[in-house]
Amino acid sequence: MKRPIQNRLNDLSPRDWIKFQKSWFVHNPSPRRKAVLRHPAKFPESLVEEFITFFTKSGGWVLDPMAGTGSALIGALRQGRPSLGVELNPEYAQIARGVIAEERLALDEGFEEIEALVIDGDAASIGEIAAREGFPPIDYVITSPPYWDMLHARGAGTQTRRRGSAELDVVYSQDSQDLGNISDYDVFLDRLVGVYAGLQPLLREGAYLTIVVKNVKKGGRVYPLAWDLGRRLGEVYALKDERIWCQDNQKLAPYGMGSAWVSNTFHHYCLQFRKE
């Protein structure tokens, strides 16, 4: 008689577990709600939900140390997981709180008691914040960092459109502590790795950390941010795998037409680390 599988990681059926194990997936997020349009590079709640259901059991605590307008917390709330977020820009933190309040009203009864707390602060000081706020042991981290200082690149089509609106931010902030404002790649990478390494004391043994990130192009060359982050942070956590998030609903642009190879990059790396 075949012994039943003991699932210590999540509450999924074997069939749903296997479906998540494919190394790539296509996800085209729905249009953003008006309240969060101000943020220049938000990642979708619907994507976050899929990862949370795989990497946590019901009741597991979720953390996003760079919470933005609250995508990870919304995804956790929808799946009945308590969550914490830290956000450097106080205006984004306030937007996140408002969106979470709206989400609670839209959900069925029983969700009002699920924690979804957004804290103003710098992810680089996460240890101090956790001690002050009394963080519980964290079961899972999902986050997406700035893709270096690429929001400052004037050639980006989305940024060009945003510059015509006073209501839409082009960059995350003007704060000198904002990683998205660091122009030196090596300094940026050092500080980013430091932020994620600083999460280690907060995580339960065996907890996973998912970082959604992308290699970036600047000045005619590729900076392998995803690969560099995997290599460097793999010295702190065990780098377990990657899932490649593809989008197939984006318009193609004729970059380098007639002279050079320049791809239209419509994929991100979802790097999976584990505290071991």
Domain boundaries, the chain: 14-19+32-250+260-274
pLDDT of 216 reads 93
In angstroms, rounded to a whole number, what is the distance separating the alpha carbons of residues 34 and 215? 28
DSSP bridge partners of 84: 63, 117
Starting at the edge strand that comes first in sequence, how are the strands of the sheet with 267-274 ordered? 24-26, 238-246, 267-274, 203-213, 138-143, 62-64, 83-87, 116-120
pLDDT of 184 reads 95
Dihedral sign of CA atoms 191, 192, 197, 200 in order: positive
pLDDT of 5 reads 76
Looking at domain 14-19+32-250+260-274, which CATH architecture does it have?
3-Layer(aba) Sandwich (3.40)
CA distances from 121 to 136, 186, 198, 273 (A): 18, 24, 14, 24
What does pTM read for this prediction?
A: 0.91
Per-residue pLDDT tens listing for the chain (276 residues)? 566 678 999 999 999 999 999 999 999 887 766 655 565 566 788 999 999 999 999 999 999 999 999 999 999 999 999 999 999 999 999 999 999 999 998 887 778 889 999 999 999 999 999 999 999 999 999 999 998 878 777 655 455 554 555 566 667 678 788 888 999 999 999 999 999 999 999 999 999 999 999 999 988 899 999 999 999 999 999 999 999 999 998 899 898 899 998 899 999 999 999 999
pLDDT of 3 reads 67
In angstroms, rounded to a whole number, what is the distance separating the alpha carbons of residues 55 and 52? 5
